[in-house]
Amino acid sequence: MEFQKLRDCRFDGSGHFKLDGYPTDVHVEKRLKPNFEALTEANTQRMAELQDKLYAEGCEGVVVILQAMDAAGKDSTIKHVMTGLNPQGVTVASFKQPSSEELAHDFLWRAVTKLPRRGCIGLFNRSYYEDVLVVRVHDLQKTYRMPKRVLDTPKDDFFEQRYRQIRDFERYLWENGYRVLKIFLNVSRDEQRRRFLDRIDDEAKNWKFSSSDVAERELWPKYMDAYEQCIDRTATKEAPWYVIPADQKFYARWLVSEAMVRVLEECGPRYPELPAEQRDDLASAREALLAETGGHDDRGERDESELTVALSENS
Ligand code: AMP
Ligand code: MG
């Protein structure tokens, strides 16, 4: 299998989406792992630079959606790829089983409450897409307290409506100054089995495993169908899906970092330029500060020797 570039993982709604055209593994040689780690590291630095500007400018918000089967690497992607970001401009929301409060609302409500401010990045660990994935697989919509006219909607129509509602919602976000980056970490069933075994054998990972994970695994084909349809129906030019081969974590992380850099570059953030009068304010503040030392700029004078003395006093 050839290396995949980010553009090979991208689906923007043109044509028909078939999941089997997207590999879970491109079998990168193990010896190349450090190279990819270095590339990821360089991307995280670039992300930090771009985020600094995004935050300063406060114009555009970015919502990053991570969807995947259990053990595909959502949590570790957040940990590894997002480390360089300034926490002040980042929010993380995990979408678990809805609370009764959440279930009493429309399905997009809880996502709306988790949106970042413009200028910030909101990471969604799972998202409103669960409402067309786990809900579809388990027919949970039948259990909702809703009027008969809604509950009587044939299943396919019900989910077609939800796909449309999601497209409309993402368009609404686009038109309100947000970009939505949607990532599906595409792990194989076999690799999930190995990672579950790790979670069982390694005490430090036990907490991540729940016996229901094995039951969900049994429904793998149904989940893949649900993913395939949902990606097909909700990918758009403004909010494409990235289907990332996730069997090799170092490779998946690199691709996610590529996608992050890309979306931040598309925002094209720039430090705000001060209007002329504020620049004048800066100039007079500068003069006043320098006047305190008789016009002498002493910033370069706190040299190493002072630091050495301070350190030895402390030891
Ligand atoms: P985890 O991400 O492993 O902590 O698990 C969270 C669980 O919550 C997953 O099994 C999700 O499928 C489930 N979940 C998330 N959103 C929903 C939803 N809207 N309805 C039902 N289950 C959900
Ligand atoms: Mg889980």
Q: What is the pLDDT along the chain (315 residues), one digit of tens a residue?
A: 566 799 999 999 999 999 999 999 999 999 999 999 999 999 999 999 999 999 999 999 999 999 999 999 999 999 998 889 999 999 999 999 999 999 999 999 999 999 999 999 999 999 999 999 999 999 999 999 999 999 999 999 999 999 999 999 999 999 999 999 999 999 999 999 999 999 999 999 999 999 899 999 999 999 999 999 999 999 999 999 999 999 999 999 999 999 999 999 999 999 999 899 999 999 999 999 999 999 999 998 876 666 666 667 665
**CA-96 nearest atom, ligand 1:** 8
Spatial contact of 253 and 81, defined as CB atoms under 8 Å apart = yes
| pLDDT of res. 295 | 93
Q: In angstroms, rounded to a whole number, what is the distance separating the alpha carbons of residues 286 and 18? A: 61
How confident is the model over 168-191, as pLDDT tens digits? Answer: 999 999 999 999 999 999 999 999
Q: List the residue whose alpha carbon is closest to atom 2 of ligand 1.
A: 96
Q: What pLDDT, on a 0 to 100 scale, did the predictor assign at position 2? A: 62
Over residues 31-73, the pLDDT tens digits come to 999 999 999 999 999 999 999 999 999 999 999 999 999 999 9
Looking at ligand 1, which atom is closest to the CA of residue 70?
3
Check pocket membership of 131 for ligand 1, CB cut-off 6 A. Answer: yes
Q: Are 233 and 163 in contact (CB under 8 A)?
A: yes
Q: 46 C-alpha vs ligand 1 centroid, how far in Å?
A: 32
Burial of 178 from C-beta contacts in 10 A (0-12 / 13-18 / 19+): buried
Neighbours of ion ligand 2 (CB under 5 A): 70
For ligand 1, the distance from its centroid to the CA atom of residue 125, given in whole angstroms, is 10
Domains and CATH numbers, the chain: 6-267 (3.40.50.300), 276-314 (no CATH)
Q: Taking the complete model, does pTM exceed 0.95, yes or no?
A: no
The preferred substitution site among 67, 70, 94, 95 for testing ligand 1, maximizing ligand atoms within 8 Å of CB, is: 95
